Amino acid sequence: MAFELYSLVRKNIRSLIPYSSARGEYGGDARIFLDANENAFGSPLGNLYNRYPDPLQTGIKDRLAEANNIMPSQIFIGNGSDEAIDLLIRIFCRPGIDNILICPPTYGMYEVAAGINNIAVKKANLTADFQLHPETITGHIDENTKVIFLCSPNNPTGNLLKREAILALTENFQGIVAVDEAYIQYSGKPSLTEKLKDLQNLVVLQTFSKAWGLAGLRVGVAFASEEIVAFLNKVKPPYNVSEFAQLAVAEALQNKEMVQKTIELTIFERKKLETALKGFRCVRKIYPSDANFLLVKVTNAADMYSYLLSERIVVRNRSNVVLCEECLRITIGTPEENQDLIRAVGIYEKSFIH
């Protein structure tokens, strides 16, 4: 059965007449703008931000399209990729009726966004080595399962999901498969965006918050079919990405070389940190990472977590998460920060009886 997008979309979204913004309505080359009730005299910052931003972020999309060998009409830009997660749920899932499927342990926002929208969450846990378990997933899917969220490389486990397993699942599912590639740049593997031409139900999420180093700007990306992107644009708030963020991202996109350097430095530091942590008795296991963090199983996660806090070093305690018992998630920092962490773990190991 061929994938049918239209019938998958909630009826009220299909028939929705989107808000028509002043800047969205007029596409021409005007001389004087008296259409949006802006302050024509400017602000304390001059005349940089007194106008509403481009609702469709054309400047960013043109650059991203070229870099990813894709059409601008297949790109959605959000206020963080968290916005795209929320919009996908709202476009495809009827509150109180439909559900999404996730594969724990994974990123927490899928479940939170579903909860906010009164959408049930089916959970098909990953295997012990944090891969998809196709039979478990198939067993959980029902006729109201509209979106499957996969995360590759996965947060908090750090590993890539096997590409063939993602593709097989997407080919055989009648709903949307959203693959969150927030950490893809650290994996050295190609993005699934190259599969968009074959898979009409695939959505690939990326973000400027991680490898691009721009978490403070709040800019995320969804790559998908033109039709899916059109629905995302229809439902989003008209000016969801600020002018400041658009200008900054457009400028950052000019310097991919610098980003590539920080990615290489991060991977180098990841290996160094892994080697150093392996030397401690209180470290029981370090999971393989394709991301900018390590999932580390220790003898007593709560204890080590609070010791590190007393040293004013914050890591993420994931021990309450399924399959992550006694695990800390440690982001790779600068060489100095990592060295400081290693020193602290060394003192912890020496001064306490575990």
Closest to 155 in 3D by CA, of 205, 199, 117: 205
Pair of tokens at residue 93:
């899932």
Strands (E), 75-208: 75-78, 99-102, 120-123, 145-151, 176-180, 202-207
Nearer to ligand PLP, 53 or 220 (CB): 220
Of the candidate spans 161-169, 209-217, 280-288, 326-334, the one that interacts with ligand PLP by CB under 6 A turns out to be 209-217
Cα separations in angstroms, 128 against 18, 181, 323: 45, 21, 7
* Cβ at position 112, least distance to ligand PLP in Å: 12
CA pseudo-torsion sign 37, 42, 43, 47: positive
152 binds ligand PLP (CB under 6 A): no
Among 161, 220, 240, 289, binds ligand PLP (CB under 6 A): 220
> Nearest approach, Cβ of 164 to ligand PLP (angstroms)?
21
209 binds ligand PLP (CB under 6 A): yes
Q: Residue 231, interface with ligand PLP (CB under 6 A)?
A: no
Please identify which residue in 60, 91, 151, 301 interacts with ligand PLP, judged by CB under 6 A.
151
CB of 9 or CB of 178, closer to ligand PLP: 178
Contact residue for ligand PLP among 57, 207, 225, 338 (CB under 6 A): 207
Q: Looking at beta carbons only, is 185 or 348 nearer to ligand PLP?
A: 185
- Cα distances from 36 to residues 46, 70, 240, in angstroms, run 18, 32, 16
Which residues, 6+ apart, have CB-to-CB distance to 340 below 8 Å? 313
Q: Quote the CA–CA distance of 19 and 126 in Å, as a whole number.
A: 41
Q: Is 113 in the site for ligand PLP (CB under 6 A)?
A: no
Residues 55-94, one symbol each (x = binds ligand PLP by CB under 6 A, - = not), give -------------------------xxx------------
CA dist 194 → 148, 199, 202 (Å): 19, 10, 11
| Position with the least CB separation from ligand PLP | 80
155 binds ligand PLP (CB under 6 A): yes
**Residue list 159-178, contact with ligand PLP (CB under 6 A):** none
Measured distance CA(67)–CA(16) in Å, rounded? 33
Residues that bind ligand PLP (CB under 6 A): 80-82, 107, 151, 155, 180, 182, 207, 209-210, 215, 220
